[in-house]
Structure 1
Amino acid sequence: MALQMGVTIYLGSLLGEWLDVKFNNTNQLYYKIATLLAVFLAMYVVIRQVLNITNKND
């Protein structure tokens, strides 16, 4: 789970970096937004996985 979370956040930051370069954005707005969204997405996925694991044990 930790590796999956790290990869998701890393890919989100790469996407934001690419968008900043593509649209010539100097304040790294796309980088910040994409990284933050990737963090929330990674947390959501991990929470869902944990809930699925705990529900299977009941």
Structure 2
Amino acid sequence: MGLTIYLGSKLGEWLDHKFGNANQLYYKIVTLLAVFLAMFSVIRQVLNITNNDKND
């Protein structure tokens, strides 16, 4: 989860630097998307574990 968010923030920093964006718009957007992606992944994994425990 942390790695996904970290890589998203680094991608956003790179995009801001590449396109000369002074207000860090790409950093904010990509980091927020990375947080949602990481949370979605964790929730999906927990649901899979829970469903597998019920079937056993």
* Shorter-normalised TM range: over 0.9
Higher Cα Rg: structure 1 or 2?
Answer: 2
Tell me, what secondary structure is at the counterpart of 2:23?
coil
Unaligned runs of 5+ in 1: none
**Which of structure 1's runs of 4+ aligned residues deviate more than 3 A?**
none
Aligned residues: 54
CA distance in 1, matches of 2:10, 2:33: 12
TM score, norm. by length of structure 1: 0.92
Matched, 1:31 2:31: no
Unaligned runs of 5+ in 2: none
TM score, norm. by length of structure 2: 0.95
